[in-house]
Structure 1
């Protein structure tokens, strides 16, 4: 399975070069507008973490107070060989956060996708257990006191709420999620620990997520929150399901976050964010290469307005909203489920200029 973070690496020329046109200092700041409500985050790529473009760095620091690495803390990159860890880019992210007063959410300790290549050659329970244990202890321990939070387990559920048949379920059994949170808690006791998934606002998957949370808690293991990724489609936001999920997760004592927010405007015949799914390109698959029609732009703005009105209604339960990318040019949706498309799912355009959706989101706070 290919990571959605990988797709972001080839999205546009703006992303590849790290270059971003200037922005107006008069543009309101998202983090300031919501400072009394919840944190505002973004996903950061390597160019942004390394501050290759000073204007982009200044823009990020002005707009966001939380950040999630798109790719660099995945096990394939941070643990490339059995006995080798590479913390170089992760450490740069920590320094970026310190420098710009941005809290870092570690992403992610255990995920069935983007595993190190050597995992494919392992066929024993003891070896998988050894990798699982050492990986969590080493990575979470290295960033103890440095990251604000961890997505401890990512995307462990099927759409019907059952556990995904991952290598971890296969070899370690259905207690592996509880074990992951226990190990993370031991390695980094002061860090907030979350479960993160897509479509877990949908009733069946929500029920599975609730069962997962209860199982961890009943084992006496700490779990602090749940992330609803928020990969939705224009004109089709499941607002009732989102609200019910916020209420039900919060009733379990969970902090609730929207962790990978974007609103797709391009044709797609399925929902969610299963990166193994693909569509075939045709004449209709990239309809807005020359620009987004005003009707779609206004629908996108209305969707973001409705979503943030809902999140503000439940600001006592929602602790963070993280956009999956800084601007439209950075979005993984330009290359998934079809490569080379032109998408417009975020609040800022490819020049970091605010879109009508941004204005609606800011207005929601007033």
Structure 2
């Protein structure tokens, strides 16, 4: 009788949502693809104990939010900050997870010293290639055999026309900077999976630009295991047909598809663009932060329906997909609380600020059950 009363109390406060018999995400999709999350330093350092328990129960693959980006791990020419990355890799090993490295070459969060000489002027192609190679050798080499796959190049395709994004990597090295990064990474760890990663790849122009890039890498004999589609989506954009078109198109290249940064933003978007360009930010405006007191049930239902539709699509193409990684663990630590406007109250993930599964969680689990019935 006491157990029944306790369960009733938990249910009344929304704490008994997942019963013991309810499968975890990794269990529900065990025969389909890995399901994971991006971890921050509080997670891998064990300081957020509730999140750690959630991660261990729900996920079988992890990605680092920031600890392996160039700036955090290699802030100065002869200085490496290994502790956060070491903790991250150790966490994955201890919990027998598929460990992803993110990211080796990106135009953001890369210190200015990488591209400049002592006088602050742009370095030569040869100098920048040497710095890229040394960095990749150091980082990939340190975790050889421990990190199973790398986002080698991140966001190199232009938003507007599918051409190469104008960055210092492109300006100084030229269009083969991506190929060089993949070559260096493959040499540093020949057994690691190598990925190209980008946002808004549901758009036809970026899709075609990515296909062109991957084909050029394949023509050089460079092994590309998968294309990472950053799933930073909204409640209505992109359409299921747009996402599906890219899954199918990329699979025709002979590569897998990873959904690498998956979340669904329910808040009004001040930008006309859909994506994750972190350089695009906006000032405070209450009309873009409308759910400060909690998510209305009507919006909660829309979020659940959206997650169910997308996971139904994922299951349909499970033979083409290797991994689904949520960008964060709970709503509390989602990057969307601070982008594109700082201080927003965002609700993009399957677990709320109290570490409890939202209705969308049950809908996602149900998509796996329906597919098996």
What TM-score do the two structures reach when normalised by structure 1? 0.91
**Which deviations, in whole Å up to 9, do the C-alpha atoms of 1:283-336 show, x marking residues without a partner?**
312110001111111111111000000010000000100000001111010111
User: Does 1:116 pair with 2:111?
Assistant: yes
- Give 3-state SS (helix, strand or coil) of 2:36's partner: strand
Is the Cα contact below 8 Å between 2:202 and 2:238 reproduced in 1? no
User: Does 1:355 pair with 2:358?
Assistant: yes
**Which deviations, in whole Å up to 9, do the C-alpha atoms of 1:187-208 show, x marking residues without a partner?**
1001000000000121000000
Deviates more, 1:223-232 or 1:236-245: 236-245
**Which deviations, in whole Å up to 9, do the C-alpha atoms of 1:127-182 show, x marking residues without a partner?**
21221111112111111101010000000011121111111111111011111111
User: How far has the Cα of 1:183 moved from its partner?
Assistant: 0.9
User: How far has the Cα of 1:22 moved from its partner?
Assistant: 10
Structure-1 residue corresponding to 2:291: 288
User: Does 1:45 pair with 2:40?
Assistant: yes
Correspondences of 1:53-72 after superposition (within 5 Å): 53-72=48-67
**Which deviations, in whole Å up to 9, do the C-alpha atoms of 1:43-101 show, x marking residues without a partner?**
00000010113332121100000000000001111111112222221111111011112
User: How far has the Cα of 1:31 moved from its partner?
Assistant: 0.4
User: How far has the Cα of 1:361 moved from its partner?
Assistant: 0.4
- Give 3-state SS (helix, strand or coil) of 2:288's partner: coil
Deviates more, 1:40-49 or 1:238-247: 238-247
User: How far has the Cα of 1:25 moved from its partner?
Assistant: 6.4
Q: Distance in 2 between matches of 1:40 and 1:259?
A: 10
Q: Distance in 2 between matches of 1:187 and 1:50?
A: 27
User: Does 1:213 pair with 2:208?
Assistant: no
Q: Distance in 1 between matches of 2:163 and 2:310?
A: 28
- Give 3-state SS (helix, strand or coil) of 2:286's partner: coil
Structure-2 residue corresponding to 1:89: 84
Correspondences of 1:209-248 after superposition (within 5 Å): 209-248=210-249
User: How far has the Cα of 1:28 moved from its partner?
Assistant: 3.2
User: How far has the Cα of 1:241 moved from its partner?
Assistant: 1.3
Structure-2 residue corresponding to 1:168: 169
- Give 3-state SS (helix, strand or coil) of 2:287's partner: coil
Higher relative contact order (CA 8 A, sep 6+): 1
Deviates more, 1:115-124 or 1:316-325: 115-124
User: How far has the Cα of 1:120 moved from its partner?
Assistant: 5.2
Is the Cα contact below 8 Å between 2:123 and 2:172 reproduced in 1? yes
User: Does 1:301 pair with 2:296?
Assistant: no
User: How far has the Cα of 1:106 moved from its partner?
Assistant: 0.1
Distance change >3 Å, CA 318–CA 32, structure 1 → 2: same
Q: Distance in 1 between matches of 2:282 and 2:194?
A: 35
Deviates more, 1:63-72 or 1:48-57: 48-57
What TM-score do the two structures reach when normalised by structure 2? 0.90
Which consecutive residues of structure 1, in runs of 5 or more, have no partner in the other structure? 1-20
Structure-2 residue corresponding to 1:133: 133
Structure-2 residue corresponding to 1:11: none
Is the Cα contact below 8 Å between 2:152 and 2:185 reproduced in 1? yes
User: Does 1:338 pair with 2:333?
Assistant: no
Bigger Rg over Cα: 2
Is the Cα contact below 8 Å between 2:29 and 2:35 reproduced in 1? yes
Structure 1 runs of 4+ with >3 Å offset: 21-25
Q: Distance in 2 between matches of 1:359 and 1:314?
A: 21
Q: Distance in 1 between matches of 2:133 and 2:368?
A: 44
Q: Distance in 2 between matches of 1:353 and 1:250?
A: 35
Is the Cα contact below 8 Å between 1:22 and 1:352 reproduced in 2? no
RMSD (Å) for aligned C-alpha atoms: 1.5
